[in-house]
Amino acid sequence: MEAHMWFSIFLACSTKQTSVQAIEQPTVETVKDHVLYAQLQKKLQEWSLQGKPDTITPDREQVMNDLALWIREKKLENETAELIFVCTHNSRRSHMSQLWAQAAAEYLNLPHVQTYSGGTEATAFNPRSVRALSTHGFIINDTKERVENPIYETKLGNNLPSIRSFSKKFGHKSNPKENFAAVMVCSDADTKCPFVPGADLRVAVPYIDPKLSDGTEQEAATYLAKSEEIGREMVWLMKRVTELLP
């Protein structure tokens, strides 16, 4: 009888300990939730839950769906999906698109996605764009390596590699040369570059240039709104990829 009692107690304690340990073990999803900076994580989660943005028209949806299918195929073929976002000066919209797309891919656990940006000419990563993205949670620091066309170190999270952000032509040595998708994010670049050498896929998803507000009272609000518009669309794009995967 006494032996039976002690055995029952042992089983109860063992079961309780196992249960506690199971609760305390973090899942992969829990770990992922803590990789991105908290403010970025919150925005990405919010936009992901809101579904397709109103800015995505039927025609735009078809183009973005073609891009999502291309990203999906790269995943199924165990290849990196490299995207170069292109606008004229690689100053505003292309940087916003690159950084939001990378953040969205990280949030939605698409590690095979790698994003880049470039222009048809090089100028500088516009400080208004830097401020807008920083306000939304990216950590962007000037490396002080040069005054003209500054090089910034952009971080999405403590455990993620930094991205060197600066203005460059889309054919710059830091960008992929073949088997990439060229995403034209301004009408001017779309018109000037009907063919992008080395691209597997070329699509156009143009955005209105926030530069139109430069020097006005609406400047800061316009850049924040453009950053949010692009961010929401990049989240929808990457979420669409996850929906297409088996």
66-108 pLDDT per residue, tens: 999 999 999 999 999 999 999 999 999 999 999 999 999 999 9
State the pairing for strand pair 81-87/139-142.
unpaired
CB neighbours of residue 7 within 10 Å? 10
Distance, CA of 31 to CA of 39 (rounded, Å): 16
Q: Which two tokens stand for residue 231?
A: 């961010």
Distance, CA of 114 to CA of 105 (rounded, Å): 8
Going by pLDDT thresholds of 50, 70 and 90, the confidence category of residue 1 is very low
Cβ atoms of 131 and 213 within 8 Å: the answer is: no
Q: Which amino acid is residue 174, in one-letter code?
A: S
Q: Which two tokens stand for residue 246?
A: 């088996």
Give per-residue pLDDT as tens, 7-52: 343 344 444 333 333 323 333 333 454 489 999 999 999 999 999 9
- Count CA within 13 A, CB hemisphere, residue 234: 32
